[in-house]
Amino acid sequence: MTASRISLISPTGALGMGFLDQSLERGISLKPDVIACDAGSTDSGPFYLGSGTPKMSRRAVLRDLRRLLLARDQLKVPLIIGSCGTSGVDSGVDWMREMTLEIAREEGLSFKLGRIYSEQKPESMAQAFQSGNIEALPGAPEIDEQLIQNCSHIVAMMGHEPIVNLLKEKFDVVLCGRASDTALFSALPLMRGFLPGPVWHCAKTIECGAICSTSTRADGVFAEIDDNGFSVEPLALDSSCTPLSLASHTLYENADPYLIREPSGMLDTQNARYQKLSERKTRVEGSVFRTDRYTLKLEGATCTGFQTVAIGGVRDPYIIARVDSWLAEMKVFFAERLKELTGKTLGKEVRLDISQYGKNAVMGELEKSSAQIPNEIGLLFCVTAPEQALANDVARFITHTASHWPIPEWDGFISGIAFPFSPPEIDRGPVYRFVLNHVLIPESPLSAFRFEMENI
Amino acid sequence: MREPVLLGKLAKLIRSKNAGPFWITFDIMFATDTDFKRVVTAKVLTKSWIAQTYQVEEDSVIFVEITAASAIKFSFPRPRIQGDLGETDMYSGQQYAPLLNIEIR
């Protein structure tokens, strides 16, 4: 070990969410040894992996990336960006590289740029499945080779090893495909020989930026790791990292509050002790990391159809009083009309979901509240079909028929749904499904990843 | 005997969220250790209450009382894979409402 402590900044929870300029400036003044930032997640659903498109806008990512590249240049320390393009597919890394080059050109920056690609070919994953190198995690959906082959994209979530591989070669900027958020922060400290218990716990604590502090604003934190533990403080001077705020963050988006699985083993924070160092800073000791069989988490998505949706509102109290039977009656007609027009069966090739906002749309059958009758109900019609054109055709006869579906209280032709848009039908495009909750047993921590290096 | 209070009033924060696409997790956080202990000793928020409310197998529920964080956390496999057809709550962010009305004595 060359130094007795190492420091990091996590400038924001996700690249493109933003941070305060003065916070980053303060981070720079604290002279961290590395800047790392996550740029992706599965949290927003299967669309981003399935389609390979980013969630954050280019302008939002460009804004944050520019500031981080300039900060890195000033400090001459590595900048590590993980899960580029939200899902970490290859095109997400290319997208981030293209922005990196644009900024370098505009700002006159030069650096050694490394890229790590983590997308996996469906064919080779089907082979790995066949040879028993893919294993299901608890509660994973049933899969077979065909289903793996049908994935539009599969990524393997890298550990810290591929990043260390580039840091050892003194790369200044490392753009990663899908990566464990924590691996971005633990790579340099582990390479320098710091103990994995404090390193991984620190990484887990700071990976979402200032969410581990008392502020909920998108912003950054500064952390220091030494032989026995780590300390964290927010970059913004008007908020704090308290024992409670740090311990609470270990809970966030984890099924288990103490055990966090990484490719190389398990972080156990059960015996972590949180000690207040000042009003703004807390120290953590006592977490341990147990090395285990090396596994890489796989994420994969397949296209399950195309959707067209329509939104409308009902205000008539007569309709609201009988809305369930009103919708059920029209559904019978929709099934007949679908069969007549396309030969297809509602509930098989074509699916229709009608949600009633204002009445159990959020919790569905789990709703136990004895609700009073609302004065409005928002209706969401959602048609899913194997092709977009078919979904749209079906949605068009549904919206028209639904809006004029009679009720016995009125004698004559009614308009029972208030549609806000013309046309009321909105094509949603392809919809995707997460199909893998599995791990790959790789030949080595590096074998599943591809490296590209260049001087900018 | 203390006046009963609703969990929604006693907790500092109650939230639900995805823990990856296949799990949902709930955090119930308290401002003080006293409030936390009061809920723990009341023993009304239990695995069986969770299983019944969310229609899941009791054995599939992870339930932890975390003294260091003055928090209670529970998780179970998501009844529907995140974003699958029929999804109503992509982030599982609004599934905690039934917790608010638990009476704590």
Q: Is the peptide bond before A423 cis (omega within 30 degrees of 0)?
A: yes
ipTM of the complex: 0.88
Q: Is the pLDDT of residue A1 over 70?
A: no
In the structure encoding, which two tokens stand for residue A323, read together?
């809305």
Compare CB distances from B82 to A46, A248, A274 and report the shortest one's residue: A46
Distances, alpha carbon A346 to alpha carbons A307, A331, A339, A355, in Å? 14, 9, 8, 17
Show residues of chain B in contact with A47, CB under 8 Å. 83
Q: Chain A partners of B25 at a C-beta cutoff of 8 Å? A: 251, 253-255
DSSP single-letter state for residue A372? P
Residue of A nearest to B89 (CA): A362
Burial B57-83, CB ≥16 within 10 A → b, else e: eeeebbbebbebbbbbbbbbbbeebbb
Q: For the stretch A276-308, what's the b/e string if a residue is b when 16 or more beta carbons lie within 10 angstroms of its beta carbon?
A: eeeebbbbbbbbbbeeeebbbbbbbbbbbbbbb
The full length of chain B comes to 105
Residue B2 to chain A, least CA–CA distance (Å): 26
The pLDDT of A171-194, averaged and rounded, is: 97
CA B56, B62, B66: angle at the middle one, nearest 5?
A: 140
Where are the alpha helices (H) located in A39-191, listed in sequence order? 47-51, 58-75, 90-107, 122-130, 145-149, 161-167, 181-191
Say what the pLDDT of residue A366 is.
87
What's the rounded Cα separation, in Å, for the pair A334 and A357?
21
Phi, psi torsion values for B23, nearest 5 degrees: -130, 155
Helical segments of A233-344, H only: 243-249, 317-321, 323-342
**A256 with B75: Cβ contact below 8 A:** yes
How many CB atoms are closer than 10 A to CB A138?
10
Measured between CA atoms, how close is A106 to chain B, in angstroms?
38
Q: Convert A26-36 to b/e letters by CB count within 10 Å (16 or more is b).
A: bbbeeebbbbb
pLDDT-derived band of residue A373, with 50, 70 and 90 as boundaries? Answer: confident
Contact B25 A255 (CB under 8 A): yes
How near does any CA of chain B get to the CA of A307, in Å? 10
Please give the residue that has the higher pLDDT: either A394 or B3. Answer: A394
- Say if B95 is an interface residue toward chain A (CB within 8 Å): yes
Chain B partners within 8 Å of A43 (Cβ): 18, 91
Instruction: Give the helix/strand (H/E) hosting A23.
Output: helix A21-29
Average pLDDT, chain A: 95
Residues 13-52 on B with a CB inside 8 Å of A are 17-23, 25, 27, 29
Is pLDDT of A98 > 60?
A: yes
Look at residue A381 and give its three-state secondary structure: strand
Neighboring chain B residues of A359 at a CB cutoff of 8 Å: none
pLDDT digits (tens, 9 = 90+) for A124-176: 999 999 999 999 987 788 899 999 999 999 999 999 999 999 999 999 999 99
Cβ <8 Å between B85 and A252? no
In three-state form (DSSP H/G/I as H, E/B as E, the rest C), the secondary structure along A197-230 is HHHHHHHHHHCCHHHHCCCCCCCCEEEEECCCEE
pLDDT at A8: 98
Q: Whole-model pTM?
A: 0.92
Interchain pair B64, A361: CB under 8 A? no
- The answer to whether A425 touches A310, Cβ cutoff 8 Å, is yes
Chain A interface includes B63 (CB < 8 A): no
**Contacting residues of B for A305, CB less than 8 Å apart:** 85
Rounded Cα distance, A162 and A117, in Å: 10
B69 reaches A (C-beta below 8 A): yes
Candidates A244, A298, A308, A357, partner chain B, best to mutate (most B CBs within 10 A): A244
Say yes or no for a CB contact (<8 Å) between A247 and B95: no
Q: B12: Cβ–Cβ under 8 A, 6 or more apart, which residues?
A: B29, B30, B31, B35
Q: What is the pLDDT of residue A96?
A: 98
Length of chain A: 456
Hey, what are A97's tokens? 């590289």
- Going by C-alpha positions, the residue among A247, A192, A193 that lies closest to residue A77 is A192
Supply A65's token pair: 């990336």
Mutate to test the interface with A, among B15, B27, B34 (most CBs of A within 10 A): B27
Of the pLDDT bands very low, low, confident and very high (cuts 50, 70, 90), residue A78 is very high
Q: Is residue A217 over pLDDT 90? A: no
The mean pLDDT value for B33-61 works out to 95
The Cα–Cα gap between A163 and A159 comes to: 8
pLDDT at A95: 98
**Partner residue opposite A247 with nearest CB, options B66, B82, B89:** B66
CB-nearest partner of A253 from B17, B94, B98: B17
Q: How confident is the model at residue A2 (pLDDT cuts 50, 70, 90)?
A: low
**Interchain proximity B23–A368, CB inside 8 Å:** no
pLDDT exceeds cutoff 90 at A253: no
Query: What is the model's pLDDT at position A158?
Result: 97
Q: Which tokens go with A252?
A: 């966030």
Whole-number average pLDDT of chain B: 93
Per-residue pLDDT, A332: 97
